[in-house]
Every structure is written in C-alpha cells, then in structure tokens.
Chains A and B, each alone.
Chain A
Amino acid sequence: MDELQDRSRDIGPFVAQPDDDMIVCRCEEVTKGEIRKAVHEGLYTIPEIRRFLRCGMGLCQGQTCAKLVKSIVARELKVSPAVLEPATSRSPMRPIEMHVFADEKEDDE
C-alpha cells in the first residue's frame, strides 16, 4: 500500500503561514491557504482539490496554476509532485460558445 492510499496517514497539523492569502488560481480566486487546509482535511489528490475548491476549473482550465497547485499539495503531503496524478484533461480544449459547439457542419467534397 503506498503512502497516499491511507487517507488517515499523519501529515501533521495545518499550520498557518504568512502567505496563505496569496491567490494561486486567479480564474477562480483560490488561495494558497485554502489549498493547504484542504489537504489537511483529507483531500490528497489533485482532482479532489479541484472539485472542492474549484482551482483550475475556470476559463484557463488550470493552464497557469496546475503546476503551482501540484507543488503546494505535494509539499503538504511531503511527497514529490511527480507522484501526484494531474487532473483529467477534458474537451473543449478552449472555451467555446454554446451556439458554436451546437453548430456541427459537414465539409463539402
């Protein structure tokens, strides 16, 4: 069983830090402190952090903050960022208006 599987593993208490109010995800305005706190409440994976806090769920879909969030979560868990599976990549790859995605056209040939 690897270290991330036991969700009651002791990772130490949440200790407030002076830069906890720094915004990490600017699309959804999620702070470093919120992310760190969520880890200590048991959210050990990137999808859980995203789903609970919405970081990486805005217009840019985490293009800017994904790596930053990952390193913050990894540091709280005391693991390498590389062991944290990133969030699923989902279509559409770029934001697209509802009426555009609705308008499927054939190519003439």
Chain B
Amino acid sequence: MKIKRFDLIVVGAGPSGLSAAIEAAKSGLKTVVFDENARPGGQLFKQIHKFFGSKEHKAKIRGFHIGEQLLKEADEAGVEVVLNATVIGLYQDHEVVVRLGEEVHHYKADAVLIATGAAENMVLFDGWTLPGVMGAGAAQTLMNLYGVKPGNRVLMLGSGNVGLVVSYQLLQAGCQVVALVDAAPKIGGYGVHAAKVARTGVPFYLSHTIKTVEGEDHVTGVTIAQVDNHFQFIEGTEKHFDVDTVCVAVGLSPMSQLMKMAGCAMEDNPKRGGQVPLLDEYGMTSVPGVFSAGDVSGIEEASSAMIEGRMAGTAIAEYLGFITKEERDRNLEALNNSLSGLRQGMFAPANRGKDIKETEEGIPISQNLLHHGFVTDEEIMRFPGVTHQDRIHPVIECTQNIPCNPCQDACHIHCIKIGDKITQLPAVDTTKTCINCGMCVASCPGQAIFLVNEDEGDGTATVTLPYEFLPLPEVGAKGKALSRSGQPLCDAEVTQVRTAPAFDSTALLTMKVPKEYAMRARFFKA
C-alpha cells in the first residue's frame, strides 16, 4: 500500500497544534493537521471570555476570535487542516493511522507533533455517576458550542480559573449558580474571575467539598460539608442545595496516550498535570522526530500553548533542515521572552502552591478575596487602582499580580499606568483627567474596572460597570445595586447603556446610586 508522506504531521488543531503548523508551514514544511473534532481550534472556540496578557499574547481578544485568527493564518500559510480525522495510533517509523469517515488511512511524516491537549479530571463522591454531574468543560461545550443549557440550578466544584470562568458563563447562559465550592482553603484561580462571579451573588464555600449528590435517575440535590486540614469532613457542617446539575472543575490531565504508545519516555509529574513526555529543550520527545507542545506536555493555558506551538514549529523546521540553527535560535529567543512574560506573577508555574501574602508592590493581598471571592470595602482602598477624585475616574479593582496590561494601552489619556513589568498592579494617575470613554472598562479581561463619579452634586453617584448579560437593561430601568459580595445595597437606576464595536460585546452599564454607595455598588440587578 502506498503511504502518503508529509514533512510534518500535527495531531490536534488546538492553539498549540495550529500555531506550530503555521510556523512550520511558513518555513516551507508540507504540513497537515489532523483533528478528531468537527471544528478546529480545540478549546478556543468554547472560550467566549477575553484573554489576559499583553498585545502579543492577544490579550482582551475573546478566545473564539483568537481561534478564527489562527485558522485564517493557517490557511494563508498553506497548512492542510483535516477535521473529523481521528488518529487511531502513532506507530513505528512516524506512521500515523487516521480514521476518515468509514475508512482508515496510513500516513508518514519526517516529524510528528503531538498536540492533543488535555481531558478533565473527575473526583469521587457519593452519586458522582448520576446524570447531571458533569465536567465544567462539558458544560462549557454544551453552552458555547451547542447552545444547550446544561441545567437550571448548578453547583460548581472547583475554584480554579476553569471553575470560575465556567460559573460566570453558566450565569450568562441563564443558569442559577447556587454555590461555588472548593476543598482547598483558598480560591485557586484569578481573583478578578472570582470577583465577577461573587458580585452577582454566588456564594463561595472554601474548605468545603461534596459529600453526596442525591437523585434517583438524575441529580436533584447536593450536600456539601466543611473539611479539615486533612480533607476529612467535619460533622455537623453539612449544607444542602436543590440543584439539577453539578459541575466539576478539578483540573485537567494531559491526553498523552499517543506518545506513550509510540514508546516516548514519560514521567508522572503532578505539577504538569500527570503523565507527560520527557522533552528536550526543543520540545522533542525521546523518540527522534516526535515532538510535543501545549497542554499534553504540561497543563497551562491557551496563551502559553500558542507560544509553545510556535516554538515547536520553529524547532521542527530546523530539525528537518528548513531553517538554520541561527534562524531557529533567533525565533526561539523572541518566543521565549514572550512566554516568560506570561509565566510571571502570583499564578506563575513557579509559584504554584506558595502562600503569597503580599503583592510585588508590598501590599497585603486581600484575604477576603482568597476566602470569599470578593475584596472587602476596607481592603479595596489600599490598591493603587482605587482613588478618590472629585470627577469621573476609573476605579481598578485589580489586586493580584497577573501578567496583563490591556488597560494601560486602552487609556489614551494615560490615566492608567502599569509600567514595563506586565504583572504590576495598574495604578490610576490622579493628575490626568478621565474622559469617560469607557475603553478601559471594556478592555479589562477581568472585568475589574469601573468608572465612578462619586458625587454628581445631587446626592447621587454614578457607577459604570462592564455588563455581559442579555437582555441588556434599558435606560431608566430600576433595580438594586449589588455589593462586591452580591448583596443588595440600595436602589439603582440605569442611566446609560453603551455598546460599541470597540467594546467587543462588553456593554457598559451606568447606574445611579445614592452617593454613599459610590465605592461599594458594583453590580446591577433588575
């Protein structure tokens, strides 16, 4: 049988696989990408939120738009992307067997890149097999790919970024999130992600986990209970919720089976999420010509996966003699800088598991944020983005060092300063005059920026907040202003709703509240 030969076969059309294919094809490699899904982009097309980072990391762009950009770039570079193509195995001599429709095809390539991503972890509790218990990623697929509501009343287990982001998306889809629960004593994900969930009124239960999920043939309820330092239940702390859905976001495991099958040396590395290949500095496994990039070689996130993919594509181009070592090294240096830009701050891989008490600026971290999902009214005042001014001004409730700076670029008046170090907390420069353009509010992937006029002169204040729920309230709508913890504070009236292409679907909702609530009211509920 004749076997079609490529320079490079990439398995997986997610962020790392596509990025690698683009880079390789640009260097002249005949490149094909196989993906078992009907749509390319891996997890990117489920990501409806704006990404963190800086411009080079495609910050403030929504994940699915990044996916579209990658696909276009791949197409322009001449990459062949084959969908509904299930890779059956990676055999000896770089042979890849692919299921296409009702038949199988054999292919070979001088190099193979495995970029198969990761799968969701599960955790055992009584009732975990009941219909209605699902991975948070599965819920996300239902909502964002298929437009199906996973349930009506949902409890989320897991406070990492996946748990936080998906909780928010569940709210956007019109579900009620009754609680966000984590056995750990502290919230694992970004504080800003937690805060945008908390301010809608979702309670956080840290040091709690699921005891039982109840129901005959589907979930009808869930009981959680507090756990001690050894993760043992503390009797008498049970809390019950009526729910029809339980989402589990307890981490991801690399789907590295193809490499194990091919005989690549593997290690069990809990820091990288489980079974991962041993890689050399260019991303090559122990089997010459077999490379790996993205989550399958260690769980991170899409932004770093894209850079890792570019690095792998560059390394493979050199490995096969399409570019020189010098070209490769030049490319890799730039990509490395970009990658280390992302791997900074409190949540950097190097800081995993560390108990960080202060920001880089020496400001004590909000403990309330870590334990309850929101910064208290007192704590918020100590951060450099929060100032009092007698005119409209941005209030930036960004309190942890994460690598992200779109707000700085968004403000043409230069009210907002982060500086060269991308993880610095944004500071508001009170000498500059805010023009209320709203760009900072819309650009913040953490939805942590508000425009506040603390005194309108008539006993009221106005608060402009990012609003990503439909239907949009109309001007004149009356409702309640909610606190950072999601508690009703006072009556509020919508005075302005702004949308603009530049806001990329984030609406700017302005509400009028009694002026004593100017620095406390952070959400509007009709």
Contacts and interface: CB of A to CB of B under 8 A. Distances in A.
Contact of A93 (B1, B86, B104, B124): B86
B268 A82 contact: yes
Given A68-B124, A82-B269, A91-B91, 17 more contacts: A23-B129, A24-B124, A81-B268, A82-B268, A89-B257, A89-B258, A91-B97, A92-B89, A93-B86, A93-B88, A93-B258, A100-B99, A103-B104, A104-B104, A105-B100, A107-B107, A109-B4
Contact of A19 (B4, B126, B261): B126
B420 interface: no
A100 to B, nearest CB: 5
A16 interface: no
B87 interface: yes
Given A88-B260, A106-B2, A109-B4, A100 B102 contact: yes
A68 B100 CA distance: 33
Contacts of A32: 124
Contacts of B48: none
A103 B102 contact: yes
Contact of B105 (A26, A66, A83, A105): A105
B36 A91 contact: no
Q: Which 6 A-B pairs have the closest CB atoms?
A: A91-B89, A89-B257, A89-B260, A82-B268, A103-B103, A92-B88
9 contacts: A84-B268, A93-B87, A93-B258, A94-B86, A96-B99, A96-B104, A101-B99, A105-B104, A106-B1
A32 B125 CA distance: 11
A94 B274 contact: no
B119 A94 contact: no
B121 interface: yes
A90 B103 contact: no
Interface string A47-72: 00000000000000101111110000
A107 B4 contact: yes
Contacts of A104: 1, 103-106
By DSSP majority rule, is chain B's interface helix, strand, loop, or mixed? strand
A93 to B, nearest CB: 6
Nearest to A82: B268
A86 interface: yes
Contacts of A61: 257
Contact of B88 (A81, A83, A99, A101): A101
A67 B88 contact: no
A74 to B, nearest CB: 11
Interface residues of A, number: 35
Interface residues of B, number: 38
Nearest to A66: B253
Contacts of B268: 81-84, 86
Specify which of B88, B257, B261, B270 lies most central, judged by the most chain A CB atoms within 10 Å of its CB. B257
Contacts of A100: 99, 102-104
A103 B260 CA distance: 26
B122 interface: yes
A4 interface: no
Contacts of B100: 105
A31 to B, nearest CB: 11
B483 interface: no
A11 interface: no
B169 interface: no
Given A89-B257, A89-B258, A67 B4 contact: no
B19 interface: no
Nearest to B88: A92
Contacts of A22: 124, 126, 128
B261 A89 contact: yes
B167 interface: no
Contacts of A82: 268-270
B373 to A, nearest CB: 28
B275 interface: yes
Interface string B28-59: 00000000100000000000000000000000
Contacts of A66: 253
Contacts of A107: 2, 4, 105, 107
Contacts of A101: 88, 99, 104
